[in-house]
Chains A and B, each alone.
Chain A
Amino acid sequence: MSPETFRSMGVEVAVGGASRSELAGVQSLFEELDARFTRFRETSELCRVNAAAGSPVVVSPRFAQVVRLALRAAAATNGRVDPTLGRALEAAGYDRDFDLLEPGSTAAGMPSPGCWRDVRLYGPVLWLPPGVALDLNGVVKGLAADEGLRLLAGDGFVSAGGDVAGRGRITVAVPGGDRIVLRAGGIATSGSSRRRWRNGDTAAHHLLDPATGRPASSPWAEVTVVAGSCLAADVAAKAAFLAGAEGPAWLDRHGLGGRFVGTSGMVVDNAVWKRATAQEQAA
């Protein structure tokens, strides 16, 4: 199952187990989602919607679907994964494609906290509070991996920048030097060890504390989660990172396995992760 790769959404996408036509379908799916949901192209539907904040706007069925998923992800994580932090990301300096960020440049604007509960979606009519901008990247990448996997007839995987949706026995290298076998669902890693930049004199990264709109501080450098889908794994990994020391217990309460790599390099597995890997070893 040697993977094929292409670039989309600012990351490398790897697809294993796909026929040529299935691979073309996966690539087309990623391109469609990227074109619609990028923050960095004025022609995207996301930019059009964000520009209309404060007024009701009619959105496409696809856009409405993703907003609904993002709001449900926010509800499921007690608002830790908040889709309304687009302006806060710009204020933190992440205002263009990551590869184009200039080190040390100072962004204009003040950080603003998240306000996902204030978003209104009635059928195709979406209303954002004035001045609010959506950033749906936290949902779109995982969704693309899950939907891409569904385009494959047999076993295989779709990895979007290391966030993986898989079916069959997929051996995945995880932070900390181990390997796991993903049988069904998704695995994703979030953290502050990449996508870091300097905003003036301050170090910044893309995982924002929704309470302040500023880059979050966390005892973790990376959090890896296995869940029933890549989207759920990605959302849970971000939420567990933002939960700080409570992250392992929060994942346990949801029955999700998580591996945490601390900023010191210490590796912590939560109870569900330990149980799943111990069972495999015993068998």
Chain B
Amino acid sequence: MAEESRIEAAHRRVAAAKTVAVVLAAAGFLAALGLARSSHAGSSTPARASGTQTPAEDQTGDDDFSLDPGSFGTGNDAPQVQTHVS
């Protein structure tokens, strides 16, 4: 009987821990969402230089954008392709 009670108590502790974990996860998501909405109102962070992170994003770094120059010069051959407004 005492053995069964210890098992039931363990189950209760596991269930309580799961509940706490779910509540904490939900609270974290809501806090992040609240932060997003509060920082939306009147946000006026100045623009940054090219290739840097904007204030509206999180960190990832796998898709940078920059206004780097290309390499070109005058051509005399017949054009292979044409650039134009599309």
Contacts and interface: CB of A to CB of B under 8 A. Distances in A.
Interface of A: 1, 3, 11, 14, 16, 56, 64-65, 68-69, 71-76, 78-79, 116-123, 125, 127, 129, 141, 157, 159-164, 166, 170-175, 178-195, 222, 224, 226-229, 231-233, 235-236, 254-257, 272, 276-277, 279-281, 283
Contacts of A76: 47, 49-51, 65-67
A14 B65 contact: no
Given A16-B81, A121-B57, 5 more contacts: A75-B47, A117-B55, A163-B83, A222-B85, A255-B69
Interface residues of B, number: 47
Contacts of A75: 47-50, 52, 54
A170 B62 contact: no
B30 to A, nearest CB: 11
B75 A180 contact: yes
Contacts of A65: 62-63
A16 B80 contact: yes
Contact of A186 (B52, B53, B56, B70): B70
B81 A170 contact: yes
23 contacts: A68-B60, A69-B63, A72-B54, A74-B47, A75-B52, A119-B56, A122-B36, A129-B40, A159-B83, A172-B80, A175-B84, A179-B74, A182-B71, A182-B72, A183-B70, A188-B83, A224-B83, A229-B68, A232-B67, A257-B69, A257-B70, A277-B74, A279-B73
B73 A181 contact: yes
Given A76-B51, A175-B84, A184 B70 contact: yes
Nearest to A73: B65
Contacts of A120: 36, 39-40, 56
A129 B37 CA distance: 9
A118 B32 contact: no
Nearest to B70: A185
B86 interface: yes
Contacts of A231: 65
Interface of B: 32-33, 36-37, 39-40, 43-45, 47-58, 60, 62-86
Given A182-B70, A228-B68, A127 B83 contact: no
Contacts of B53: 72
Contacts of A183: 70-73
Contacts of A254: 50, 67, 69
A172 B77 CA distance: 9
Contacts of A79: 47
A185 B71 contact: yes
Given A122-B32, A161-B86, A171-B80, A280 B56 contact: no
A280 B84 CA distance: 23
B77 A179 contact: yes
